[in-house]
């Protein structure tokens, strides 16, 4: 059997699709794969801030379209780039083992965040990362930053920026882990919900393909991202909301630390529940965060 895997054209996206392809072939002997490369809205516009692109799922909709129109059988996404509302006709068949979900600092000379001089420029295209940096180092200048992982690292190494914040998983998958000067630890730096996780999506009318893909699903990874994305979903947010969340599993207990950054001295909260109640835990966290701001979930 042959499976066609849709992915963005960026080097990181292609590396992630290759990781999934290797997992699928290992789990399904005799399977062969080919890649369908897609340009998305986020790929075509590499300069505008994410929030200015005018749609949620700027890095996902084009890949999903290839799945829906039959050009591909499987789609691979950075899970954090997917809108929280599912698209009719598609579902997530697998969440492979999650990579390191944390953020990292890339800097000239390997300086840690605390070592950057006042007024130094630090690049990020994320509202969440901007808010977290400003909370810890209000004396730094946050500079908008877009482009693929290699481009962003190069802007630091070439001296255009003093530092940048990127995902540990993205740097590792792109072969740029040596550029990490410091891993930015929770709770001061909570990652984006589902950061480091991959989502493997299929059509709902393809049970044979779905059965193949389910073999690479990791139950613990699915549980933690379910909690994190339920939190984001009930905030009615997307990648433009300065929300962070990180869930971990210890035995049967699921622990979720989540929050909104930029408008509170104590922006995070931690809740505990059962792994089987991941969605409910995320919703509870969202309700408490919104209640603290005089809002309600829908």
Residue 129 falls in the annotated catalytic set: yes
At 14-59, the pLDDT tens digits run 999 999 999 999 999 999 999 999 986 655 444 444 444 344 567 7
Task: Determine which one of 102, 128, 173, 229 is catalytic.
Answer: 128
Residue 64: CATH number of its domain? 3.40.190.10
Q: Is the pLDDT of residue 97 over 50?
A: yes
Residue 137 falls in the annotated catalytic set: no
At 105-157, the pLDDT tens digits run 999 999 999 999 999 999 999 999 999 999 999 999 999 998 899 999 999 99
Task: Determine which one of 98, 203, 229, 239 is catalytic.
Answer: 239
Domain that residue 157 falls in = 103-184
Task: Determine which one of 56, 146, 236, 288 is catalytic.
Answer: 146
Q: Which residues touch 274 (CB under 8 Å, ≥6 apart)?
A: 252, 253, 254
- What integer is the mean pLDDT of 266-272? 86
Residue 236 falls in the annotated catalytic set: no
pLDDT for 39: 84
Task: Determine which one of 8, 73, 81, 234 is catalytic.
Answer: 81
pLDDT level of residue 266 (50, 70, 90 thresholds) = low
* Number of domains within the chain: 2
Same domain as 241, residue 280 = yes
Residue 141 falls in the annotated catalytic set: no
Residue 9 falls in the annotated catalytic set: no
Residue 214 falls in the annotated catalytic set: no
Task: Determine which one of 152, 155, 229, 233 is catalytic.
Answer: 152
At 223-257, the pLDDT tens digits run 999 999 999 999 876 556 789 999 999 998 999 99
Given 184, 210, 226, the domain boundary residue is 184
Residue 222 falls in the annotated catalytic set: no
3-state percent helix, strand, coil for the chain, nearest multiple of 5 = 35, 25, 35
- DSSP, collapsed to helix, strand or coil, labels residue 47 as coil
Given 165, 184, 203, the domain boundary residue is 184
pLDDT for 51: 46
Inter-residue contact 147 to 47 (CB < 8 Å): no
At 205-223, the pLDDT tens digits run 999 999 999 999 999 999 9
């Amino acid at each position: 059997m042959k499976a066609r895997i849709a992915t963005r054209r960026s080097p990181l996206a292609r590396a992630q699709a290759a990781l999934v392809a290797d997992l699928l072939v290992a789990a399904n002997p005799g399977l062969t794969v080919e890649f369908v490369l897609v340009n998305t809205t986020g790929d075509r516009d590499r300069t505008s801030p994410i929030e200015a692109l005018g749609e949620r799922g700027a890095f996902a909709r084009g890949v999903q379209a290839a799945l829906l129109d039959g050009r591909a059988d499987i789609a691979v996404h950075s899970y954090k780039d997917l809108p929280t509302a599912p698209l009719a006709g598609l579902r997530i068949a697998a969440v492979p083992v999650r990579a390191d979900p944390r953020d990292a600092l890339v800097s000239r000379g390997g300086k840690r965040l605390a070592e950057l001089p006042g007024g130094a420029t630090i690049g990020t295209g994320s509202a969440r990362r901007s808010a977290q940096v400003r909370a810890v180092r209000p004396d730094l200048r946050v500079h908008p930053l877009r482009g693929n992982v290699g481009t962003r690292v190069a802007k630091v190494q070439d001296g255009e920026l003093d530092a940048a914040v990127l995902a540990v998983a993205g740097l590792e998958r792109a072969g740029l882990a040596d550029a990490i000067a410091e891993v930015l630890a929770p709770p001061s730096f909570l990652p984006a919900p589902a950061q480091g996780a991959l989502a493997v999506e299929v059509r709902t009318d393809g049970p044979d393909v779905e059965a193949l893909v389910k073999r690479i699903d990791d139950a613990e990874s699915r549980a933690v991202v379910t909690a994190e994305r339920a939190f984001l979903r009930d905030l009615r947010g997307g990648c433009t909301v300065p929300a962070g969340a990180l869930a971990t599993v210890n035995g049967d207990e699921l622990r979720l630390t989540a929050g909104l950054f930029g408008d509170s001295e104590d922006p995070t909260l931690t809740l505990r529940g059962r792994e089987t109640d991941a969605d409910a835990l995320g919703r509870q966290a969202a309700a408490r965060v919104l209640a603290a701001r005089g809002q309600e979930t829908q």
